[in-house]
Amino acid sequence: MEQLFFYLVLMNFALIGYGRMGRTIEVLGTKQGHSFPVIIDIHNHEQLSSGGLKGIDAAIEFSTPATAPGNIRECIDLGVPVLTGTTGWNENIPEIEAYCKAKDGTLFYASNFSVGVNILFALNRRLAEIMDQFPEYKVSINEVHHVHKKDAPSGTAISLAEQILELNRQISKWHLKKNDAYAEEATGQLPIEAIRKGEVKGQHSIHYESELDSITLSHDAYTRDAFAAGALLAATFITNKKGVFGMQDLLKL
Ligand SMILES: NC(=O)c1ccc[n+]([C@@H]2O[C@H](COP(=O)([O-])OP(=O)(O)OC[C@H]3O[C@@H](n4cnc5c(N)ncnc54)[C@H](O)[C@@H]3O)[C@@H](O)[C@H]2O)c1
């Protein structure tokens, strides 16, 4: 953690997307001493391409799955390092990463900026490696989010599933679980249950179950500050770098 505090240098950030996450980042970042001279949302989006990012150290993008790829491209074209936490646009990620590298730009993407979730990712990978030797356990993922969330399953649940697919040869595919809770799961499948409830900030669990016992790893975000704190660290981290980065580059877990 010592290394993380090293990055607390005061910056001028642009916010692209001024919804729940954009506002949380502004409040926490202002307390930390950062400035947010540029705030872009749907109504003033044209400000982005008309010179609105002059003097900005990095842009912090939390918008929608449909608008994130375009916003990121614009920042790269303007030569401004961009961090995005928007989820639900996975199919465009390889193309945007290639665009960033071709233009010698700077991009930081994380499906989840909370330090705790990234610790969960490290534990999930280790457990998946171990469980590769124990096919009698069936694995499943459960995620719960607030009712306003646009994508399902969450980007974090997809990251957890892909980590398991990479390391556990018993599992070949993940899928979004249908409403029929009692449906028999085919062998080699990883069901993800996505529940939308109230104002839940984000809960994820990975569950292995045999006929004899079960093992569960879980994370519960109490406040959006958990994501905002990680996003501010990551945004500061990329201000003097070129390339494509993720939480592993920041936290080195
Ligand atoms: N990576 C993480 O750690 C993390 C954490 C929380 C949320 N998220 C994701 O971040 C995204 C935003 O979440 P939120 O809760 O703030 O959503 P939100 O709906 O509260 O805010 C999104 C904002 O984007 C704005 N917007 C729409 N089109 C735009 C455009 N073209 N340019 C700029 N802004 C535009 C909307 O008007 C809105 O204000 C979602 O995809 C969510 O899943 C990621």
Contact 201, 146 (CB under 8 A): yes
pLDDT at residue 49, rounded to an integer:
83
Helix ranges (H only) for 41-154 are: 68-77, 93-102, 115-131
CB neighbour list of residue 224: distance below 8 Å, 6 or more residues apart? 20, 21, 24, 201
Q: Active-site positions? A: 145, 149
The list of the chain residues with pLDDT below 70 reads 1-8, 179-185
Q: Give the C-alpha separation, 24 to 13, whole Å.
A: 14
Using a cut of 0.85, tell me whether the model's pTM lies above it. Answer: yes
**Of 21, 108, 121, 233, best ligand 1 pocket probe by most atoms within 8 Å of the beta carbon:** 21
For 9, other C-beta atoms within 10 Å of its C-beta total: 12
What is the distance in A from the centroid of ligand 1 to the CA of 233?
Answer: 19
Q: Please give the number of the atom of ligand 1 that sits closest to the Cα of 40.
A: 33
Residue 236 near ligand 1, beta carbon < 6 Å: no
Q: Give the C-alpha separation, 253 to 246, whole Å.
A: 12
pLDDT at residue 188, rounded to an integer:
85
* Burial (Cβ within 10 Å: 0-12, 13-18, ≥19) of residue 33: exposed
pLDDT tens, 56-76?
999 999 999 999 999 999 999
Domains by residue range for the chain, with CATH: 2-113+224-251 (3.40.50.720), 115-220 (3.30.360.10)
pLDDT at residue 2, rounded to an integer:
46
Residue 228 near ligand 1, beta carbon < 6 Å: no
What is the distance in A from the centroid of ligand 1 to the CA of 155?
Answer: 13
